[in-house]
Structures are given as C-alpha cells and as structure tokens.
Amino acid sequence: MSPSDAPSVFDWDIFCRVVDNFGDIGVCWRLAKALAHDHGCSVRLWVDDWTTFARLCPAAAAAGDSLCAQGVEVRRWCEPFPDVQPARAVVEAFACEPPASYVAAMAAATPRPQWINLEYLSAEDWVEGCHGLSSPHPRLPLTKRFCFPGFTARSGGLLRERGLIAARERFQADAAACHDWLAGLGIPAVPDGARLVSLFAYEQPQLPELLRLWAAAPRPTLLLVPEGRVLGDVLRFFGRTDAPADEILVAGGLTAAILPFLDAADYDRLLWACELNFVRGEDSFVRAQWAAQPFVWHIYEQDEAVHHDKLDAFLDRYLAGLDDSAADATRALWKAWNGEGSLAAAWPAFDAALPRLAPHTRRWSEDLASRQDLASVLVQFAELTVK
C-alpha cells in the first residue's frame, strides 16, 4: 500500500504514546499488523515517538512523518494534529486519550466510530468483570469500551498472529535451522550439553550473583543478551563498562554473546531457540509464552508496589497444576528476580525444577493458543466483519 492507495476512511486508527521504551509501541505495532494481515483491515497507526518506532521499523528513520509498512499506514502523532477523517474503529492504547480535535471529529461523524480503550495486560481476577464495560463521554455523544487482554476466555486474550504456533513448531523441530540462525548472528558453536538462555530485562543488581553460579556450574551456559537495559549488569560481572554488539565474553562455563537489536521475527526465534528466557514488560512477556519454553518475568515496577500483586496473580494462574516443589521453586526465583529474595539462594531449586517446568509451560502455551486472540476480539468489539 502506497500513500496514494490509502483508503478515504480507514477501518482502524490506533493511537500510541511511547512510555516505556519498546513495550507500548511493540504491542501497538504487532496489533496493527495483525489487524491488517489476519483480518484484511485498513489500519493507520499514530505514534508520538518516531525514533523509538524506527528501531522496530527501520524504514521509518528516513520516512519523514509518515510511511506505509507491512500493510499499515504509520503517522507521526504531533501537534497541531492534522485534520483527518476518523476511522470506523479507534483504539487508544493504554489510556492515551486521542487529540481533542480528533475526538470532536469522532462525535461529528456518521456513523460514529467504535471507540476502544486497550488496557494493559493483567491476570488479576477483576479483569474479567471490567472487560467489555462501556463509559459514556461526559460531554460528547460518544461511548468508549474497555478491552482488557488476559489469560481467560472472559478476557480479551493475547496478541497472536495467524501461523505463529506452526512457525514455532517448524523451527524448534529443525535443529539445523536453529544452528544456522545462531550462526547468522555470529554465535560460536554451542558446546555439547550447553543450556541456551536469553536475557532481556530491566536493571538487575543481583545478576552478577547468578552469573557467578552459572560460571562455576558443571553444565555450560550460553547467555544471549539482546541490546537492552540489563546489559550494564552483564558487563559489570565481566569487569567491563562497554562492549559492542557481537562481542563474546567468557568466564568459566559461562559464555555471554552480546546481540545487536533484533527485529520482531528474530526475537521470536531467539525465544524459540532457548531453554530459558528472561523477559520484561508486556510484549516480550507474551512472546515468551508463545515460545512454550520456561521463562522468568521482570514485571514493570509501579508505585506502591502494586506490580507485586500483578506478579502473584499471574503466578497463581501459570503454576496451577504444577507439582508443589516445582511451583514453589519457580515462585521463589521469580520473586527474587523482582526484588523479593536472593537470586543465588533461589536458583538451585529452580534449576532442579526446570525439567518439570518445561512440559508444564508447553501445556500452558497450548491452552492459551486454544483461545481467541486479541486482534480477533477487537474486530468483534468494533462490529467489523472477520475476514
């Protein structure tokens, strides 16, 4: 789709304000592509932080204020906001109110657009009761509906594009494909019996303690570290202050490979290739669950420690049906990773539990994949035909 081919009225407008690096725009960009590719919708994505978006979509760096990429028209959200015709359905991501002039145009449109507030993901029980609720505008003849992503059939589900699970299965069943992909990233030959671990997290002051255990362990570990905020803690363990992407660092049985920024498809392959994935925020957290491999979640920290309630709510759902000792070990490691306890003390029991956690996580992923995905739920919300 070129700018001249853009429809006069879009099916979807998605508004995104970038708050936490790639999390907000990562979710919105995936959603926009899913609506376009899986449902045949015309989609326009408004982004306030063009520089961050350009990391996910490199073509944006030289595109000025707009471009068409992967079936989606992407526009820079700036002030004054342009005079555009609202789409048939409007998503404000994570309560980022659309511009006042745009909202006024929504109220004047015939028919009025479906207005959806896409909320943050949570496993808490109250989500089911709030998903789908409506809120009238205090002044204008508009009504907003709330969509809560979640882990149950009574929530909005999770982002999952068509063909994702089949692509994962093909990759994980093909050892040569995995080897070739790693080699393409400049990763040296993986030692026999080595555990592959990916690390994408917020700053983690306890990380050197865990890396010391891995360096001294009889089983070698290959740690794959995409560019991100935790890289400084990795370098601190190796006595470094900086390291270029593609550098290999070694200490005892631990080999750490610093990876360049990965696009969405390669980040998925990274998760699929590893036996254990450390992830953060929302987008990589969801992708780790589609990888069907054990993972550890670094939740986004919130005021008054309310994020710990969200962490506990997810653990209660995720660990249901796992034997008590493996569940307790997993909970202890996750809590320590999020600042409640010692990582070094929690690691041995978690390490011993991984052989039981792996099949449990695959079953968890399969159960989630049996439910409706978020883009399909939103299409139904907007009363647009699923194609």
Rg, the chain, Cα only: 22
Residues 148, 127 contacting (CB under 8 angstroms): yes
User: Which ranges of the chain does DSSP label H, i.e. alpha helix?
Assistant: 23-39, 50-56, 100-108, 126-130, 164-173, 175-184, 207-216, 231-237, 264-273, 283-291, 306-318, 324-337, 343-369, 374-381
Residue 323 is among the residues annotated as catalytic for this protein: no
Pairing of strands 195-199, 221-226: parallel
Task: For the sheet with 12-16, list strands across it.
Answer: 66-69, 72-76, 43-47, 12-16, 89-93, 114-118, 143-147, 134-136
Helix axes 264-273, 283-291, angle to 10 degrees: 50
Query: Is 106 buried (19+), middle (13-18) or exposed (0-12) by CB count in 10 A?
Result: buried
Ordered DSSP codes for 308-347: HHHHHHHHHHHTTTS-HHHHHHHHHHHHHHTTSS-HHHHH
Q: How many CA atoms, within 13 angstroms, populate the side-chain half-sphere of residue 81?
A: 17
* Catalytic site residue from 233, 282, 283, 373: 282
Q: In angstroms, how far apart are the furthest CA atoms of the chain?
A: 68
What is the phi-psi region of residue 101: left when phi exceeds 0, alpha when psi lies from -120 to 50, beta otherwise?
alpha
* Catalytic site residue from 13, 24, 268, 283: 24
Residue 282 is among the residues annotated as catalytic for this protein: yes
Pairing of strands 114-118, 276-280: unpaired
- Residue from 92, 76, 34 nearest 103 by CA: 92
User: Which ranges of 40-99 does DSSP label H, i.e. alpha helix?
Assistant: 50-56
Question: Measured between alpha carbons, how far is 205 from 208 in angstroms, rounded to an integer?
Answer: 7
At 172, the amino acid letter reads: Q
Peptide bond into 218 cis (omega under 30): no
Positions marked catalytic: 24, 282
